[in-house]
């Protein structure tokens, strides 16, 4: 029995940081905000450049 044509459970999509499956789709939707898809296809927080003032010197 192959389940490849079935949409993943909504909990699985949520845990991956994605919207639920669009109608007639077998994949979760796009990343939820504020997440973005990285080069590996995972939803991650968009990295912000650290401000220069973050460096402290003693």
Question: For the segment 10-44, what is each residue's pLDDT rounded down to a tens digit?
Answer: 999 999 999 999 988 999 999 999 999 999 999 99
Q: Which two tokens stand for residue 53?
A: 């003032």
CA-to-CA distance for 31 and 18, rounded, in angstroms?
Answer: 4
pLDDT-derived band at 2 (thresholds 50, 70, 90) equals very low
For residues 32 and 18, the answer to whether their CB atoms sit within 8 Å is yes
CA-to-CA distance for 21 and 31, rounded, in angstroms?
Answer: 11
**For residue 58, is pLDDT > 70?**
no
Strand partners, 36: 44
CB atoms near residue 40 (< 10 Å): 6
Higher pLDDT, 54 or 9: 9
| pTM of the entire predicted model | 0.68
**For residue 5, is pLDDT > 90?**
no
**DSSP reduced 3-state for 14:** helix
């Amino acid at each position: 029995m192959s389940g490849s044509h079935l949409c993943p459970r909504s909990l699985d999509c949520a845990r991956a940081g994605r919207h639920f499956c669009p109608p007639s789709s077998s994949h979760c939707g796009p990343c939820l905000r504020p997440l973005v898809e990285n080069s590996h296809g995972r939803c991650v927080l968009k990295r912000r450049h650290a401000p220069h003032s973050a460096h402290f010197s003693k």
